[in-house]
Amino acid sequence: MTILAMHHENDPKQAIIDAVGDLSPATVMHNELLVGVYIRPDSYKTKTGHEIFLTQNFREEDKFQGKVGVVLAKGPLAFVDDADIQFHGQDVNVGDWIVFHSGDGWSLTIRGVLCRMVRDNAVRMIVPTPDFVY
């Protein structure tokens, strides 16, 4: 169940992946994750089927406070146990939706897509859809 079922014309995961494009010329380093930040669409549907439109200012907040994104790439040391942190088998995959504190990520833009570099130990949850949390 999602809190707000957003109205998506296209799959948001695929839209982010397509917009970022080929990442093979780049290498994510160490224990970092490259995450494409989810920006909510301009409307959502209520449980009764009504469509509510969001203002541009409301959606702009996702650029600064967005806490959900799709994993686009992983550094070679992401989720590898070391002397300080043990993950006990937990891991994320490219294509997973993850939740993180917006302040835990370094913001950057790749081909016009807002992204964040997030350390592996800053991942709070894996969720089935970006609308799972608000």
DSSP notation for 23-59: -TT----TTEEEEEEP---SEEE-TTS-EEEPPHHHH
Q: Which residue has the tokens 């939740």?
A: 99
CATH for the stretch 5-132 = 2.30.33.40
Q: List the chain domain ranges.
A: 5-132
DSSP 60: H
User: Which residue, 109, 118, 36, 27, is CA-closest to 75?
Assistant: 27
Calculate the average pLDDT of the chain: 87
pLDDT, tens digit, 9 for 90 and up, residues 31-82: 999 999 998 777 777 777 778 777 666 666 666 567 899 999 999 999 999 9
What is this structure's pTM? 0.85
Top pLDDT among 109 and 134 is at 109
Distance CA(41)–CA(67), nearest Å, equals 15
pLDDT of residue 133: 84
